[in-house]
Amino acid sequence: MKKIILVLATLTIALMMLSLGTGVSLAQNATATPSSSTKYNSSVTIFAVICENQAVVNLSGTMEPGYDAYYQVFSGAQGGGTALTNLRRVQVDGTYAFSEAVPYSGGTVASGSTGSVKVYIAKESAPNTPAGDTFLVDDVQDGCNNAQNPISSSIDTGAGAGASTSTTSSSGGIRIRSPFGGYINTTVPVAPEGEVVIGARKFVNPERSSTPGVIFAECNNFLPAAAPGIVYDNDNITIFWSWYAKTAAQVQDHISKAQYNVTLNRAPLINVGTSEIKVIGGNNWVFYTANVGNLKPGQYGVEYKLTWSEQTFDGYKKFGPGTNTLEQDAGCLFTVDRNPDDVSPVYNNIYSVR
């Protein structure tokens, strides 16, 4: 029975494949060199076992404050096939040892087939933005195994892994900060799709949101927390996104170098407003908003792309030319329905219906 141990650290990354049956091991070492201004001391050792109906994920290492380990299980090798779990957050601090038997949803791994686990370290406030490299651990499904460490539970973030810096997290999972204060709707019960989808992605429209019409431009990466819900044609629609950094100066540096290309049904958003820099939860935030108004009933898609003219630093990670993050891409699909009160709004006709 071959299992894989992966040690992911910010200074040294070791990948070791152990043959438990023979005691023979093969080791491959690599060294990651972060910039001298970035000091990370977190690490995670992963021992992953792919079973038929669940994965046994064993983690140990050290974790500095403000960071956590994240993982996701897939039915194929190297993140292929379908996502068998959502992205999961393991809340740990200091020296830790964690194990979890996580059940699959929507699939199994047949005997002799290879499944995989994606794992990385990220800020608690930015789960979809890895602080370092992301690694994929493969394992052949040839039976299950017991947990190595005390059993605990991770948090289902309700999302696949992507790139964003517009979220915060709590014991309830991912929440999206609103440009109007607080959070946008976090109660829409959507079963999120995996990262691999056969055919076109579905327009998410499960029920009425608690903040109808306030639409996060990157919502596809953060379902169900960011699901737009049922949107009516008399809702005043605002599309927004955000950025945060440790200091106000770092946010201002991002603002001066950020190059956003955000469209609605492929038409550029106009009159995008930039908020004042606000201190929220220990970080400095800026929100970008586009007031769209009322839209005709139909299907709509936001396409979001962010690049930078020069390298920038948010106090945690570098972005732009010469870094590991040259761009961020996301989007949001939603449907506008006719309002039940039969009110006749004045539509914004700039954005044609799909």
Q: 80 pLDDT band (50/70/90 cuts)? A: confident
Question: What SS3 state is found at 66?
Answer: coil
For 118-137, write each residue's pLDDT tens digit: 998 888 777 877 877 777 88
Q: 80-100 burial by CB neighbour count: b if 16+ within 10 A, else e?
A: ebbbbbbbbbbbbeeebebbb
**Residues forming beta bridges with residue 274, ordered by sequence position:** 288
pLDDT confidence band for 66 (50 / 70 / 90): confident
> Which pLDDT tens digit goes with each residue over 143-189?
898 888 888 888 877 654 333 345 554 333 467 889 998 888 855 44
Rounded CA Rg of the chain? 21
From CA 269, how far away is CA 225, in angstroms rounded? 23
pTM: 0.54
The pair of structure tokens assigned to 258 is: 């950020």
Nearest to 240 by CA among 215, 265, 221, 222: 215
For tokens 């990262």, name the residue. 195
Q: What is the DSSP string of 237-275?
A: EEEEEEEEESSHHHHHHHHHHEEEEEEETTEEP-S-EEP
Whole-number Å distance between alpha carbons of 168 and 165:
9
Closest CA to 110 of 51, 55, 57, 47: 51
Torsion angles phi and psi, residue 252, rounded to 5: -65, -35
Interior CA angle at 303 toward 270 and 107, to 5°? 155
Cβ proximity of 137 and 96 under 8 Å: no
* Percent share of the chain, pLDDT over 90: 40
Query: How does strand 67-74 pair with strand 25-30?
Result: unpaired
Residue 336's alpha-carbon distances to 292, 295, 351, in angstroms, are 13, 7, 12
Does the pLDDT of residue 216 top 90, yes or no? yes
Rounded Cα–Cα distance for residues 272 and 43 (Å): 40
pLDDT at 62 over 70: yes
Question: Is the pLDDT at 266 greater than 80, yes or no?
Answer: yes
Looking up tokens 């991002």, which residue turns up?
254
- At residue 77 the predicted structure's pLDDT band, cuts being 50, 70 and 90, is confident
Over residues 30-37, mean pLDDT: 29
Give the span between the Cα atoms of 161 and 86, in whole angstroms.
8
Distance of CA 181 to the CA centre of its chain: 22
Q: Apex CA 247: angle with CA 242 and CA 253, to 5°?
A: 65
Q: Which residues share a beta bridge with 347?
A: 294
- Does the structure show a pLDDT above 80 at 248? yes
Sheet containing 327-337, strands listed edge to edge, beginning at the edge strand earlier in sequence: 231-232, 327-337, 298-308, 258-264, 267-268
Which tokens is 212 given? 């109808």
Residue 201 or 309, more confident: 309
Residue 135, amino acid = F
Q: Strand, helix or coil at 78?
A: helix
Tell which wins on pLDDT, 41 or 110. 110
Tens digit of each residue's pLDDT (9 = 90 or more) over 275-302: 999 998 778 999 999 999 999 999 999 9
In 3D space, the residue among 343, 326, 314, 320 whose CA is nearest the CA of residue 165 turns out to be 314
Highest mean pLDDT pick, 22-26, 255-259, 276-280: 255-259
pLDDT of 36 higher than 70: no
Q: What is the DSSP string of 165-185?
A: S-EEEETTEEEEB-TTSSB--
Q: What is the mean pLDDT of the chain?
A: 78
Task: Tell me what pLDDT residue 238 has.
Answer: 97
**Single-letter amino acid, residue 58:** N
- Predicted confidence (pLDDT) at residue 26 exceeds the cutoff of 70: no
